[in-house]
Structure 1
Amino acid sequence: MVKSHVLVISFPGQGHVIPIMELAQRLVEQGVKVTFVSTEVIHNTVTSTWINKDGYKDLMKIVSIPDGLDSWDDRSDLSKLLKSISQTMPGKLEELIESIDKEDDSKVTCIIADLTMPWAIRVAKKLGITSATFWLASVATLASILSVQKLLDDGIINDKGILLKDGMIRLSENMHPIKTSNIWWVCFDDLALIEATFQLVLEAKEVSSWPEWFLCNSTTELEAAALSEYPQLSPIGPLLASNRLADQVGHFWQEDPTCLEWLDQQETSSVIYIAFGSFTLFNQTQFEELAIGLELSNKPFLWVVRPGMTKETTTTFPNGYMERIGSRGRIVSWAPQQKVLSHPSVACFMSHCGWNSTLEGLTNGLPFLCWPYFGDQFQDKSYICDIWKTGLGFNKNEEGIITHGEIKSKIEELFNNEMFRAKALGIREKVASSITKGGSSYSNFSKFIEWILEKDSHANNQHNK
């Protein structure tokens, strides 16, 4: 009978659910029972798109608790969502754990919480359950949370998290300088969202030292300087389904696998893959400039245009666009990204530089064209362009638009300079070494599994008191 029973809880965002769902599946592969917890809306979305969800039915349950908002509320209003989550979900999580312990044959022995759900760590402490926290973005981004007191003391931000000083700073001697305007929570346009996010940052910093393990989706091969500052971190990344030859799960939209057949028909290292994640929004002018830039590149391209990607009600392509690009361009609403990026036809990745996408591109040795939108994406772009030197960024004009000429120019520069590809392939080799047997991430994950299994008996005893 399975004794270890881990409850895993994720923030309700696409970029959070995918890596934490991957972590959950790896636990299951090691014989650990997992209850994956999300909000009701995310639960319904993920289970509707996960075709093979019965594959783990014996050891993995996917359950939901309410986020406190009504069905008609706008969950893209993140400040409203954050407040509702913190008010509603802690009590609901306690109720869930109590019901599991009464009805299940194995009680919850450990809680793994997304650090952006810090209240879940408080629940674990209150109930006497061992815990681990998981940080799914870069360690450089995490550093701004762990250094929040320094940012306050130095007058970089005020007590509401709002930026006071624009310039370059070092969070530590070993880490590369960052723009203060790139601190991830100050990038939002909405002051209410900055304040709500900053409150989460303060709570995350407070509880960050409580769990027995602090896991992160990175590797020493990518972030040696940042990781050297935080010996309490255990990097176990990149957590990608493709690394274990499995299908990625946790998508909010149905993937279109037919684009893989289209890629099969293209020449090796010829295709530009364009995808901007689940949040990026364009106005119609910017969208059309991108479309024309891709057209003028004369390169084959696969472009993910998800529903609601533009601020306008409907996404409109330039007149006659589809006829002009013909079969040279393929446009889909959502793609099986890990499979796309590993396809030999793909030459480069035009990306918003979310950490998941960054890891997926790096793992496949691809150079980047960087188009960050918000949050941690600007720091990820800095890694790609300034530290690893595996990609290029775009420059905006006076109106804040990246023009079709700029897009065409940067595509040509990336394709004509072999240095980007060579450096990307070098990074790929380093990352691959970390996740194979004997590598740093492999070893850390193995130790974590051992800890879960060893702590099981103790946790059960504590929980029964």
Structure 2
Amino acid sequence: MKKAKLVFIPAPGFSHLVSTFEFAKRLCDRDRRFSVTFLIMNSLLDPPAVSFIESQQQQQQQIIKLIHLPQPQQPPPDHLKPYPEIYKFTHRENYKPLVKHLLSNMMLSTRAASNSVPQIAGLVLDFFTAPMVDVGHELGLPSYLFSTSNLALLDLTLYFLTHPTHVKESNPELTLPSFVNSVPASVLPAPVFSKEDGFVVTLKLAQKFMDMKGIIVNTFQELESYALLSFLDTKIPPVYPVGPVIGLSSSTEMVDSAQNEKIMKWLDHQPDSSVVFLCFGSMVKFGATQLREIGIGLESSGYRFLWAMGGDSIHHDEDILQEGLLDRTAEKGKICRWAPQVEVLAHKAIGGFVSHCGWNSILKSLWCGVPIVTWPIHAEQKLNAFKMVRELGLAVEMRSKEVNGDDLVMMADEIKEAISRVMDSDSEVRKRVQEMALKCKKAVMDGGSSHGYFARLIEDIIANI
């Protein structure tokens, strides 16, 4: 029986690492011929990513191994401020000689070994590590892109290959093949508006996507059926929607067991579908004005709430909330630093989710059948929110307001109204989300769409050895 080793080179961000590790575990569980080696770019890891890698190191199994790459030469520090995207791109590029040397040694050792030693069948790259496809070509190894986001972001990135013109926020709407509706320029990721920085990097990444042998996407056919059809009969590499790829245990989240237990016990005492859950990811830190508006909006909505504030400590944030808020809402509200997202969303007490619209969070909410209020903040989150609200009708929209001529703030009245809409037990959004939850689970079961695409992907990879 042929055995195959895949070498994963993930992006160093926490959200990218979580879904990439989950995909690797599922691949190895699905087919015992596979083993995986991760090459970790230590110098680029953010604090949550460091914690996650340490936890994975402790859980490491024989079929999944981690190799920590040494520090490469760093780009000139004076490039960081004017060109942050090019700086990060160059930093990742500087890992290429290290990766090539390591892969060359791995290939020599496997060729010299017996037939029972797994042969390297290819590289699995991330959106941001796609340029490593060049190393694969030099060594005769096929590369696969694993997109931790959706088909919409993939389509947008590839769009610029045929429309290599700098985009401005004031531009008219874009016509993207994967969208039914025209897409406002205002919902595009901020880097594409930077002509000499982010836009340059986006074009370079798109070019590398086209050099892949296949593109694996963390989505499923039933969710993005229109988008998937738009990729057929094109020169784009074969697309494999194998999602939802989400970790279903708290081991993938930044929560200590004692905090976890307190949160779940509190939820156990709440009525069914009575609690709105607020969580904004690992990178968001709100200012005092926004925190107060959230607090006022939650209290005036009248609904029970669980608010995961994030950050290192919630004590300072509690101090700047509206005076007396915590006392007045003590029986119906709970504020914490972090919460185990999947476990919370799966709890019968949860009726709605106010989210930053990271793709991992969206997939978790759909899996659990919980409707979302969209609060996109950075990266491709605005595009995700647009897709969920306008394209799919699976979320409730909120709109921010300009304050002091500059800062965008989500006002208390808007928060109150959106929470009331998402918590409506008879809303169309809730019905659609619950229907999608069933499709979500069916997709990964034997005979489901993602299960089938996974099988085709495995056949393609095994054919490489």
Place the TM-score, normalised by the shorter chain, in its bin: 0.7 to 0.9
Once residues 33 and 144 of structure 1 are traced to their aligned partners in structure 2, the CA distance between those partners, rounded to angstroms, is 33
Q: 1:34 aligns with which of 33, 36, 52?
A: 36
> Which residue in 2 is equivalent to 1:318?
322
Q: Which amino acid aligns with 2:224?
A: E
> Which residue in 2 is equivalent to 1:298?
302
Once residues 366 and 277 of structure 1 are traced to their aligned partners in structure 2, the CA distance between those partners, rounded to angstroms, is 17
Give how far 1:236 is off: 0.6
Give how far 1:59 is off: 0.9
> Which residue in 2 is equivalent to 1:176?
181
Q: Which amino acid aligns with 1:37?
A: L
Matched, 1:134 2:140: no
Once residues 379 and 116 of structure 1 are traced to their aligned partners in structure 2, the CA distance between those partners, rounded to angstroms, is 18
Q: 2:352 aligns with which of 335, 348, 351?
A: 348
Once residues 429 and 60 of structure 2 are traced to their aligned partners in structure 1, the CA distance between those partners, rounded to angstroms, is 40
> Which residue in 2 is equivalent to 1:396?
400
Once residues 28 and 372 of structure 1 are traced to their aligned partners in structure 2, the CA distance between those partners, rounded to angstroms, is 34
Give me the TM-score of the superposition, normalised by structure 2: 0.85
SS at 1:63 equivalent: strand
Matched, 1:447 2:448: no
> Which residue in 2 is equivalent to 1:426?
435
SS at 2:124 equivalent: strand
> Which residue in 2 is equivalent to 1:6?
6
Over 3 Å counting, the alpha-carbon distance change for 1:74 and 1:209 in structure 2 is closer
> Which residue in 2 is equivalent to 1:460?
none
> Which residue in 1 is equivalent to 2:240?
234
Q: Which amino acid aligns with 1:4?
A: A
The answer as to whether partners of 2:254 and 2:338 remain within 8 angstroms in 1 is no
> Which residue in 1 is equivalent to 2:273?
269
Matched, 1:409 2:410: no
Once residues 411 and 332 of structure 1 are traced to their aligned partners in structure 2, the CA distance between those partners, rounded to angstroms, is 19
Matched, 1:257 2:266: no
> Which residue in 1 is equivalent to 2:100?
94
SS at 1:168 equivalent: coil
Once residues 200 and 333 of structure 2 are traced to their aligned partners in structure 1, the CA distance between those partners, rounded to angstroms, is 44
Give how far 1:172 is off: 2.6
Q: 1:149 aligns with which of 155, 161, 171?
A: 161
Once residues 398 and 48 of structure 1 are traced to their aligned partners in structure 2, the CA distance between those partners, rounded to angstroms, is 36
Over 3 Å counting, the alpha-carbon distance change for 1:395 and 1:183 in structure 2 is closer
Q: Identity, % of aligned pairs?
A: 24
The answer as to whether partners of 2:57 and 2:66 remain within 8 angstroms in 1 is no
Over 3 Å counting, the alpha-carbon distance change for 1:67 and 1:380 in structure 2 is farther
Over 3 Å counting, the alpha-carbon distance change for 1:314 and 1:113 in structure 2 is farther
Once residues 435 and 39 of structure 1 are traced to their aligned partners in structure 2, the CA distance between those partners, rounded to angstroms, is 31
Once residues 323 and 26 of structure 1 are traced to their aligned partners in structure 2, the CA distance between those partners, rounded to angstroms, is 45
Over 3 Å counting, the alpha-carbon distance change for 1:314 and 1:83 in structure 2 is farther
Once residues 43 and 284 of structure 1 are traced to their aligned partners in structure 2, the CA distance between those partners, rounded to angstroms, is 25
Once residues 391 and 397 of structure 2 are traced to their aligned partners in structure 1, the CA distance between those partners, rounded to angstroms, is 13
Once residues 325 and 74 of structure 1 are traced to their aligned partners in structure 2, the CA distance between those partners, rounded to angstroms, is 48
Question: Could you give the per-residue CA deviations for residues 35-59 of structure 1, whole angstroms, max 9, x where no partner exists?
Answer: 1222215398546446575444211
Structure-to-structure mapping, 1:112-131, within 5 angstroms = 112-131=124-143
Once residues 156 and 311 of structure 2 are traced to their aligned partners in structure 1, the CA distance between those partners, rounded to angstroms, is 32
Question: Could you give the per-residue CA deviations for residues 179-204 of structure 1, whole angstroms, max 9, x where no partner exists?
Answer: 1222224577xx4xx64332332122
Write out the 4+ residue segments of structure 1 that deviate beyond 6 Å after TM superposition: 72-77, 312-315
Once residues 367 and 426 of structure 1 are traced to their aligned partners in structure 2, the CA distance between those partners, rounded to angstroms, is 11
Give ranges in structure 2 of 5+ residues lacking alignment: 111-116, 233-237
Give how far 1:406 is off: 1.7
Once residues 174 and 392 of structure 1 are traced to their aligned partners in structure 2, the CA distance between those partners, rounded to angstroms, is 19
Q: Which amino acid aligns with 2:392?
A: W
Q: Which amino acid aligns with 2:241?
A: P
The answer as to whether partners of 1:10 and 1:17 remain within 8 angstroms in 2 is yes
The answer as to whether partners of 2:279 and 2:355 remain within 8 angstroms in 1 is yes
Give how far 1:119 is off: 1.5
The answer as to whether partners of 2:312 and 2:337 remain within 8 angstroms in 1 is no
Once residues 154 and 358 of structure 2 are traced to their aligned partners in structure 1, the CA distance between those partners, rounded to angstroms, is 14
The answer as to whether partners of 2:12 and 2:46 remain within 8 angstroms in 1 is no
> Which residue in 1 is equivalent to 2:235?
none
Once residues 317 and 329 of structure 2 are traced to their aligned partners in structure 1, the CA distance between those partners, rounded to angstroms, is 24
Once residues 172 and 315 of structure 1 are traced to their aligned partners in structure 2, the CA distance between those partners, rounded to angstroms, is 48
SS at 2:401 equivalent: coil
Over 3 Å counting, the alpha-carbon distance change for 1:290 and 1:216 in structure 2 is same
> Which residue in 1 is equivalent to 2:376?
372
Once residues 134 and 95 of structure 1 are traced to their aligned partners in structure 2, the CA distance between those partners, rounded to angstroms, is 23
> Which residue in 1 is equivalent to 2:362?
358
The answer as to whether partners of 1:28 and 1:56 remain within 8 angstroms in 2 is no
Q: Which amino acid aligns with 1:163?
A: K
Once residues 86 and 210 of structure 2 are traced to their aligned partners in structure 1, the CA distance between those partners, rounded to angstroms, is 27
The answer as to whether partners of 1:187 and 1:375 remain within 8 angstroms in 2 is no
Query: What root-mean-square deviation, in Å, do the aligned CA atoms of Structure 1 and Structure 2 show?
Result: 3.1
The answer as to whether partners of 2:85 and 2:191 remain within 8 angstroms in 1 is no
Once residues 179 and 389 of structure 2 are traced to their aligned partners in structure 1, the CA distance between those partners, rounded to angstroms, is 19
Give how far 1:313 is off: 10
